[in-house]
Amino acid sequence: MFPKEGKKLPRGPRGSGGDGEFAQTIAAALRGELGTTHQAIKTAMRWTGTSERTVKHWFAGTHAPSGPHLASLARHSDSVLMCFLRAAHRPALSVGTHWISVRTMLVELVEAIDLHYGL
């Protein structure tokens, strides 16, 4: 039912607080990976195509990204992807992303050895 007065719609029934916890987890992941500077906000804005205000809400943990915005963040941020997989109760899938990271580090190590020894 809509209120007869006021400018805000009432919030729906609250669950177990999982939404707020998820928002805080995503915020911690974003801050951990990007930092807390204005440049970090701009980076997340570029990744998702959202407004500065929206991204600031994500960094503050007052709102969580949803749908396409969450997918965009996960595409660019391993930390956000891990948070999503844990929230979906699928942490075993995160092993694959770790192997990709390990492979990337190994390739960089081989390139550095080749460069150092002139191979």
Taking only the tens place, the pLDDT of each residue in 94-116 is 666 667 778 888 999 999 999 99
Residue 3 belongs to some domain of the structure:
no
Which of the four pLDDT bands, split at 50, 70 and 90, describes residue 18? low
Residue 12 belongs to some domain of the structure:
no
User: Do 96 and 83 sit in the same domain of this protein?
Assistant: no
User: Do 58 and 43 sit in the same domain of this protein?
Assistant: yes
Burial of 39 (0-12, 13-18, 19+ CB in 10 A): exposed
User: Do 77 and 96 sit in the same domain of this protein?
Assistant: no
For residue 59, give its domain range. 18-88
User: Do 22 and 70 sit in the same domain of this protein?
Assistant: yes
User: Do 57 and 69 sit in the same domain of this protein?
Assistant: yes
Residue range 46-103, pLDDT digits in tens = 999 999 999 999 999 999 999 999 999 999 998 999 889 888 888 777 666 667 778 8
- What is residue 104's predicted lDDT score, i.e. its pLDDT? 85
Q: Is 63 helix (H, G, I), strand (E, B) or coil?
A: coil
Residue 81 belongs to some domain of the structure:
yes
User: Do 55 and 106 sit in the same domain of this protein?
Assistant: no
Residue 47 belongs to some domain of the structure:
yes
User: Do 37 and 68 sit in the same domain of this protein?
Assistant: yes
- Entry pTM: 0.66
- What is residue 100's predicted lDDT score, i.e. its pLDDT? 74
Residue 44 belongs to some domain of the structure:
yes
Could you give the number of structural domains in the chain? 2
User: Do 115 and 61 sit in the same domain of this protein?
Assistant: no
Sequence-ordered list of residues with C-beta below 8 angstroms from that of 115, at least 6 positions apart, any chain: none
